[in-house]
Amino acid sequence: MTRRDGPDLILAVDVKRPAEAERILDPLKGNLRYVKIGPRLFAAGGMRFVRRVIRAGFSVFLDLKLHDIPNTVAEAVDLFARNGIWALTLHASGGEEMLRAAGSAKVGAGSALMLLGVTVLTSMDQRSLDMTSPGSGLQGTILSRARLCEDCGLDGIVCSPRDLPLIVPRFTDRLVTVVPGIRDGQGVQDDQKRTASLEDALEMGADYVVIGRPIVRAPLPLEAMSAYSERLERWRGNNGY
């Protein structure tokens, strides 16, 4: 299921208000395809805002990371699947029944919605995983959750760029990889712990890279966006796309 037309960029438009998001998105119409909407903006703008973004020509990745009992998740997936959402996240730790219920709801809605399992948050390292799931190795947890996503018929997973060497050789062509935690430079700059640069993530086989704060919190977001787009285009050009 790896993208034949090369990797692409998803802008995580993590701002407070729909109007602020639209100020960033309006000038990007035609140049940017994928937009990620998270819980804060979804809470502020609801489906009405999401539909406006879709009508403006963007493919919406709704990153709500659903994690609930199977019936509740299936009902939410059914609604999103009928509303033209491009991709939706679920926590793989929600378990087999929950993931299968989500898949059935999508099929029942006759939708092309892409269901993505979050393996382990990119803000978590071994220490934080030890606190929630004592005794679980980070790599083993990521792998077993990715396998579960595949078995349950999900389209892809969200993982850290650092997980790609583990994931790509095992799941290429079967799971799309959506990769946040894109940062230039070394060291912790914010809550993201397992990070890599855009080029390193692409080199390691990311299908989609998710970039938020380095663009939306830049002093000039549109300039930051075009700098990332140019880097992506350069990489695609150098790699035969």
Site of interaction with ligand C5P (CB under 6 A): 12, 14, 36, 38, 63, 118, 121-122, 158, 180-182, 192, 210-214
- The torsion of the CA quartet 52, 12, 171, 193, rounded to 10 degrees, works out to -160
Between CA 19 and CA 214 the distance in angstroms is 20
Between CA 97 and CA 95 the distance in angstroms is 6
User: CB-wise, 192 or 197, nearer to ligand C5P?
Assistant: 192
Cβ atoms of 194 and 160 closer than 8 Å: yes
Q: Which of 36, 65, 106, 193 is catalytic?
A: 65
Residue carrying the six token digits 């269901």 = 115
User: CB-wise, 82 or 147, nearer to ligand C5P?
Assistant: 147
Write down the least CB distance from residue 110 to ligand C5P, Å.
Answer: 27
Residue carrying the six token digits 């390292």 = 125
Between CA 135 and CA 132 the distance in angstroms is 10
* Main-chain phi, psi angles of 116, to 5 degrees: -120, 130
Q: Which residue is nearest to ligand C5P (CB)?
A: 212
Longest dimension (CA), the chain: 48
H or E element: which one contains 142?
Answer: helix 138-151
Establish whether 193 is a catalytic residue. no
User: CB-wise, 63 or 78, nearer to ligand C5P?
Assistant: 63
Q: State how beta strands 8-12 and 176-179 pair.
A: unpaired
How many other β-carbons are positioned within 10 Å of the β-carbon of residue 231? Answer: 16
Residues taking part in catalysis:
65
